[in-house]
């Protein structure tokens, strides 16, 4: 299978660069999210826009779930989405109701995508990209996977895949739970854990991509519209640059030849990063995913380093 992957990359314009360059774009899922541990939603948006500008990130992509507008904290969400676009960022489809593909028929899933796309169409910054909620592309149901792939193609939508994931959503969940319980949160340690985790995830998936395909693609980092992102995005970008990464636009990331594999790669269970799927299809043995995506491990690190609890 590895030869087929290399052939597809070659057909779509890949050639090995003279000097390896690590490039990565930033994406934020589940927009608009409700209140987090520290910030009101309007505050989060303001901090995130300011932080991205200060970090020199000219264009990130915000994957929108319009159904979130009906949530208790959804008031003002449409205004916040417009602010991201006005700041030069782009918007894409993350479904209307944020459901697992493995839980509903393909026709219902595509109808939900259509509902979100109707909401997005015509808005400034809109891009024809769809990101699967939970990165669930049908898991072991290949017929359903292929039906949705065909449906996306018929609609002119591309797979808004990710190549790097550090489960930032879990760190946010752990932080909200600790704040709700009145626990003392070491904010400096939280920042360090967040940045370290996302940077190490980027390094892991880049090594995996190079090992599997012989090249470093333009990566897409999965983040969520969280308080942690708003508070620490400048630190994260600085941490990436310190390790030799260049931050690029979402447009550049999705123009990379690896995008051709997003609707073609065939693995026993379709869920997770594109990098992992390509490695699996090429016969790369486990581990094919970053260890801190294990929520039990990440939770232990959070309790030890952020809450300063003794853990076994």
Per-residue confidence (pLDDT) for residue 312, from 0 to 100: 64
Establish if 311 belongs to a structural domain.
no
Cα 154 to its chain centre, rounded Å, is 24
Tens digit of pLDDT for each residue in 55-74?
999 999 999 999 999 988 88
- SS3 category, 127: strand
Q: Is the pLDDT of residue 40 over 80?
A: yes
- Which of the residue ranges 8-12, 147-151, 157-161 would you say has the lowest mean pLDDT? 8-12
**Domain-located, residue 188:** yes
- Asked whether residue 94 is assigned to any structural domain, the reply reads yes
What pLDDT sits at residue 2?
Answer: 59
Q: Is the dihedral of CA 59, 65, 68, 69 positive or negative?
A: positive
Cis previous bond, 172, omega within 30: no
What domain range includes position 56? Answer: 22-305
- Confidence label for 18 from pLDDT (cuts 50, 70 and 90): very low
Peptide bond just before 32 cis, omega within 30 deg: yes
**Average pLDDT value for residue range 111-116:** 98
Euclidean distance between CA atoms 7 and 12, whole angstroms: 9
Q: What is the CATH number of the domain that holds 235?
A: 3.20.20.370
- Cα dihedral 163, 301, 62, 231 sign: negative
Lookup result for tokens 């581990």: 287
Q: Is 225 helix (H, G, I), strand (E, B) or coil?
A: coil
Which residue is listed with tokens 């990165």? 135
What is each CA distance from 133 to 85, 172, 222, 225, 236, in whole angstroms?
21, 17, 12, 14, 24
**Who has greater pLDDT, 72 or 118?**
118
Taking the whole predicted model, whether its pTM rises above 0.75 is answered as yes
pLDDT of residue 162: 98
Domains contained in the chain, number = 1
Tell me if 31 is assigned to some domain.
Answer: yes
In a domain, 256, yes or no: yes
Residue 266 lies in a domain: yes
User: Is residue 96 one of the residues assigned to a domain?
Assistant: yes
What is the overall mean pLDDT for the chain? 94
Confirm whether 12 is domain-assigned: no
């Amino acid at each position: 299978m590895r030869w087929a992957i290399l052939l597809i990359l070659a057909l779509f314009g890949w050639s090995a660069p003279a000097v390896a360059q690590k490039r990565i774009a930033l994406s934020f899922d589940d927009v608009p999210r409700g209140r987090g541990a520290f910030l009101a939603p309007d505050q989060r948006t303001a901090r995130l826009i300011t932080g991205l500008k200060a970090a020199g990130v000219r264009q990130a992509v915000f994957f929108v779930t319009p159904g979130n507008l009906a949530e208790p904290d959804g008031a003002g969400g449409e205004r916040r989405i417009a602010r991201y676009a006005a700041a030069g960022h782009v918007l894409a489809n993350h479904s209307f109701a944020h459901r697992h593909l493995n839980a509903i028929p393909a026709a219902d899933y595509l109808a939900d995508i259509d509902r979100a796309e109707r909401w997005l169409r015509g808005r400034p910054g809109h891009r024809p990209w769809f990101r699967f909620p939970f990165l669930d592309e049908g898991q072991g149901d290949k017929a359903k996977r292929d039906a949705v792939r065909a449906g996306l193609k018929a609609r002119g939508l591309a797979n808004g895949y990710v190549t790097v994931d550090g489960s930032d959503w879990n760190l946010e969940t752990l932080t909200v739970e600790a704040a709700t319980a009145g626990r003392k949160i070491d904010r400096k340690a939280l920042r360090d854990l967040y940045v370290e985790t996302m940077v190490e995830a980027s390094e892991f998936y880049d090594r995996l991509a190079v090992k599997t395909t012989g090249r470093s693609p333009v990566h897409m980092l999965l983040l969520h519209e969280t308080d942690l992102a708003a508070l620490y995005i400048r630190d994260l970008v600085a941490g990436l640059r310190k390790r030799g990464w260049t931050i690029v636009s979402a447009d550049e990331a999705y123009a990379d030849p690896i995008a051709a594999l997003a609707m073609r790669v065939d693995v026993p269970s379709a869920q997770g990063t594109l990098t992992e799927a390509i490695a699996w299809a090429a016969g790369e043995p486990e581990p094919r995913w970053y260890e801190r995506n294990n929520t039990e491990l990440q939770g232990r690190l959070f309790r030890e380093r952020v809450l300063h609890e003794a853990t076994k």
